[in-house]
Structure 1
Amino acid sequence: MHVLFLVLNEIEYLDDILSEFVEIGVKGATILDSQGMASAIANNSNRQVPLFGSLKSFLDSSRPYNKTVFTVIDNPELLEKAVDAVNRVIGDIRKPGVGLMFTIPVDNIFGLPKNSI
């Protein structure tokens, strides 16, 4: 069993990714509003952390918020399909600024019926 995490900076892809998840059989996901550390520092009203001028102006003009999507998947084939679905929608996730995707193995899940994962 794994948790698939997707930190999505280009949030315009979110609906398409969720549609793909439903289509391949992912039964649920949680979506959180999130913000990266550099964005939080750049948007901090105290601004006590020094930033280089060009980096600060870049961060000020970039998207300050992103979406973090996570889902628990207990089938290795479905996990691979979910990763492939994200890559199909996004293209190359390694492009700068798109996002970050990773999985973490989990041992126990509490609070969900067995057939809901």
Structure 2
Amino acid sequence: MSEIMAVVAIVERGKADYVVNRAKKVGAQGATILYGRGTGESEAKKFLNVHIESSKEIIIILTEKEKCKQIFDEIVEAGRLKEPGTGIIFTFPVSNLVGLHHRESFSLN
């Protein structure tokens, strides 16, 4: 059974489609984009002296572990996530997954 990873990126509003398209070019099969609002905006401005937009887009990509690093790196570059206030990204292993058995792109056997 291939290990499945979740890549979660929180990016500035309006950037998710571009970031996801770049991730697809390096192996992502698809993504889910959610909309959110950060709560730490006033604290970030006060302590970091950086403007951080409170409206966010949250990208969730499920992928095989073998593709995870390349997708992660592409999202970091596409979203300019190393620059202050542009977003965050993290990964974690997925367990108890239901609903992807019909997709040929994932080998869950």
Normalised by the length of structure 2, the TM-score is 0.73
For 1:116 and 1:68, locate their aligned partners in 2 and report how far apart those are by CA, in whole Å.
Answer: 23
Matching of residue 103 in structure 1 with residue 91 in structure 2: yes
Provide the aligned C-alpha RMSD in A.
Answer: 2.5
Percent identity between the aligned chains? Answer: 21
Matching of residue 7 in structure 1 with residue 16 in structure 2: no
Change (3 A) 1:18 1:2: same
SS in 2 for 1:112: coil
Higher helix share: 1
Structure whose CA Rg is larger: 1
SS in 1 for 2:104: helix
Give the drift of 1:62. Answer: 4.6
For 2:6 and 2:52, locate their aligned partners in 1 and report how far apart those are by CA, in whole Å.
Answer: 28
For 2:40 and 2:78, locate their aligned partners in 1 and report how far apart those are by CA, in whole Å.
Answer: 26
Give the drift of 1:111. Answer: 1.4
Matching of residue 21 in structure 1 with residue 20 in structure 2: no
If asked which structure has higher relative contact order (CA below 8 Å, sep 6+), I would say 1
What is the total number of aligned residue pairs between the two structures? Answer: 99
Matching of residue 79 in structure 1 with residue 68 in structure 2: yes
1:65 to 33, 55, 65: 55
* Corresponding residue of 1:90: 79
For 1:99 and 1:23, locate their aligned partners in 2 and report how far apart those are by CA, in whole Å.
Answer: 21
SS in 1 for 2:15: helix
SS in 2 for 1:37: coil
